[in-house]
């Protein structure tokens, strides 16, 4: 039976703008109030999807959320027509308006945590939408995310869906940005690696001091229970609080892994040696490779500024051959001489990363999201892929349709001040209505 790690990338929404909404995300805050280019952002993301599809990856698409979120503004006491609500809210609190226009669902690594059928007790693939409760502009995403995932993965013989965890930092959950699955091959039983920022119920446990720890241990443990995992196929590790305070807001900014490879910075975890030892003790197979990057090779500052670890690892090994991985990296890695030289050295070494491909994702990068942020990995059998009814698996025709849609409906410049333009809301709704039939998701924005 053929099994694939399918990457579902988020389509960058047409309200993509820079407002510095994400505390602890250095790039997001540094570019606050700069003018964004939503059209370029969406086309850059689509180009990456198409390129990976041409490399042999099964590539999926996740629809953007409808913006602005008028329901949230109404719940905060703003009344009148939608246009009146936005204008009044803008006069009283433009920051709230910006948060209700946020295009952050483009970073689908935060959409959910996914456990494939080969890891779970009931033999189904399980989804839990992330509550994203530590950031207001993301905290209301889970409702639509759950509806979208249930619409896409609707066959109950194959898939199980869980509500987002209760809100509040005690169960703060940021989805797959803090979750990695390791296995000899995608179709074999795997080890699910959960990384958390704090133990929320223990006031004396180590935690960051400057920035919020967005993932709690309690949330990670709850998801493992919901998905039918057990102690033999899970590892829970704490992210180093010091790196969170340095701007590493998710584990996927300091570590990335897939299949039998974990690529990480030496300062990623609170006790890296202990973490790797536990992974090795529970990993089912003999090809696990822990590729640790020393601070003397790539500094923490360079890792954050280039998003060296917010990259994608693609297992391109043929059955029975030595493991071979391709690293999908942003061009910022290529433009930093120290990082580029390190990657060239790794490719030339005996390490299993054999190739690096660079992609221009500057619009996303300026808002704090690299290649890894843009995709949600879902391990699926061919039968499961065939059961997906919406038109969300990328091919040349779908790519062409989406490029045409972006070119027709997206602005090439969007500033903070533009959010109060009544015409923008009309454009966003027209874009959503036109996207529904393209993806076979008719009515999704009326749910």
In the prediction, which pLDDT does 25 show? 56
Nearest C-alpha neighbor of 165 from the set 199, 130, 196, 198? 130
Check pLDDT > 60 for residue 28: no
Please check the confidence at residue 1 and state whether its pLDDT lies above 90.
no
Nearest to 110 by CA among 151, 85, 80, 142: 142
Write b or e for each residue in 39-76: b if 16 or more Cβ atoms lie within 10 A of its Cβ, otherwise e.
bbbbbbbbebbbebbeeebbbbbbbbbbbbbbebbeee
246-275 tens-digit pLDDT: 999 999 999 999 999 999 999 999 999 999
What value does the mean pLDDT take over residues 266-289?
A: 96
Residues with active-site annotation: 174, 250, 373
With 90 as the cut, is the pLDDT of residue 392 above it?
A: yes
Determine the Cα–Cα distance for residues 298 and 266; give it in Å rounded to an integer: 10
20 has pLDDT over 70: no
Q: What is the reported pLDDT for 321?
A: 82
3-state secondary structure of 312: strand
The pTM (predicted TM-score) of the whole model is 0.96
Q: Please state which of the ranges 12-21, 25-34, 104-113, 173-182 shows the lowest mean pLDDT.
A: 25-34
Residue 314 has pLDDT above 60, yes or no: yes
pLDDT of residue 293 exceeding 80? yes
At which residue do the structure tokens 């964004």 appear? 36
Whether pLDDT at 102 is above 60: yes
Residues facing 269 on adjacent strands: 239
Q: Which of 365, 325, 361 is nearest to 343 (CA)?
A: 325
Residue linked to tokens 């009146």: 84
Q: Predicted confidence band at 171 (pLDDT cuts at 50, 70, 90)? A: very high
Summarize pLDDT for 186-215 with one digit per residue, the tens: 999 999 999 999 999 999 999 999 999 999
Mean pLDDT of 52-67: 97
Q: Using one digit for the tens of pLDDT, what is the confidence trace for 114-169? A: 999 999 999 999 999 999 999 999 999 999 999 999 999 999 999 999 999 999 88
| Residue 337 CB burial class (10 angstroms; 0-12, 13-18, ≥19) | exposed
33 pLDDT band (50/70/90 cuts)?
A: low
pLDDT, residue 8, reads 98
pLDDT at 61: 98
Among candidates 15, 16, 11, 105, which has minimal Cα distance to 59? 11
**pLDDT at 317 > cutoff 90:** no
Give the residue-averaged pLDDT of 396-413: 98
Average pLDDT, the chain: 95
Q: What is the pLDDT of residue 71?
A: 96
Stronger pLDDT, 32 or 368, i.e. the higher one: 368
Determine the Cα–Cα distance for residues 138 and 23; give it in Å rounded to an integer. 12
Question: DSSP for 90-152?
Answer: HHH-HHHHHHHT--GGG-GGGTEEEE-GGGSTTSSEEEEE---TTSHHHHT-HHHHHHHHHHH
Overall CATH class of domain 3-67+102-446: alpha beta
Residue 35 pLDDT level (bands cut at 50, 70, 90): confident
Asked if pLDDT for residue 32 goes beyond 70, the answer is no
CA distance 301 to 292: 16
């Amino acid at each position: 039976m053929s099994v694939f790690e399918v990457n579902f990338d988020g389509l960058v929404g047409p309200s993509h703008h820079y407002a510095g909404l994400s505390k602890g995300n250095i790039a997001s805050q540094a570019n606050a109030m700069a003018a964004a280019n939503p059209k370029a952002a969406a086309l850059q993301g689509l180009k990456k999807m198409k390129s990976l599809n041409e490399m042999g990856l099964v590539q999926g698409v996740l629809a953007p959320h409808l913006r602005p979120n008028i329901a949230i503004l109404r719940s905060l006491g703003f009344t009148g027509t939608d246009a009146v609500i936005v204008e009044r809210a803008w006069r009283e609190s433009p920051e709230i308006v910006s948060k209700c226009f946020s295009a952050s669902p483009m970073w689908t690594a935060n959409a959910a945590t996914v456990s494939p059928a080969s890891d779970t007790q009931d033999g189904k693939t399980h989804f839990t939408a992330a509550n994203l409760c530590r950031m207001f502009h993301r905290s209301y995403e889970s409702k639509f995310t759950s509806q979208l995932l249930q619409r896409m993965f609707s066959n109950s013989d194959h898939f199980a869906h869980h509500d987002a965890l209760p809100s509040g930092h005690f169960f703060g959950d940021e989805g797959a940005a803090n979750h990695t699955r390791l296995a000899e091959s995608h179709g074999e039983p795997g080890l699910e690696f959960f990384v958390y920022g704090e133990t929320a119920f223990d006031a004396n446990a180590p935690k960051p001091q400057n920035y919020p720890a967005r993932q709690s241990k309690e949330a990670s443990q709850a998801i493992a229970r919901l998905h039918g995992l057990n102690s033999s196929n899970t590892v829970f590790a704490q992210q180093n609080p010091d790196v969170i305070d340095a701007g590493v807001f998710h584990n996927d900014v300091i570590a990335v892994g897939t299949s039998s490879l974990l690529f990480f910075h030496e300062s990623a975890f609170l006790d890296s040696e202990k973490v790797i030892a536990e992974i090795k003790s529970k990993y089912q197979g003999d090809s696990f490779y822990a590729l640790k990057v020393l601070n003397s090779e790539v500094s923490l500052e360079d890792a954050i500024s280039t998003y060296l670890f917010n990259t994608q690892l693609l297992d391109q090994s043929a059955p029975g051959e030595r493991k071979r991985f391709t690293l999908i990296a942003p061009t910022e890695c290529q433009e930093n001489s120290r990082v580029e030289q390190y990657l060239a050295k790794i490719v030339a070494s005996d390490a299993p990363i054999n190739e690096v491909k660079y992609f221009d994702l500057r619009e996303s990068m300026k808002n704090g999201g690299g290649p890894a942020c843009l995709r949600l990995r879902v391990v699926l059998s061919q039968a499961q892929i065939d059961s997906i009814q919406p038109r969300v698996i990328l091919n040349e025709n779908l790519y062409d349709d989406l490029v045409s849609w972006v070119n027709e409906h997206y602005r090439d410049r969007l500033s903070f001040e533009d959010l109060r333009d009544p015409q923008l809301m009309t454009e966003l709704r027209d874009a959503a209505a036109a996207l529904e039939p393209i993806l076979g998701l008719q009515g999704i924005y009326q749910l």
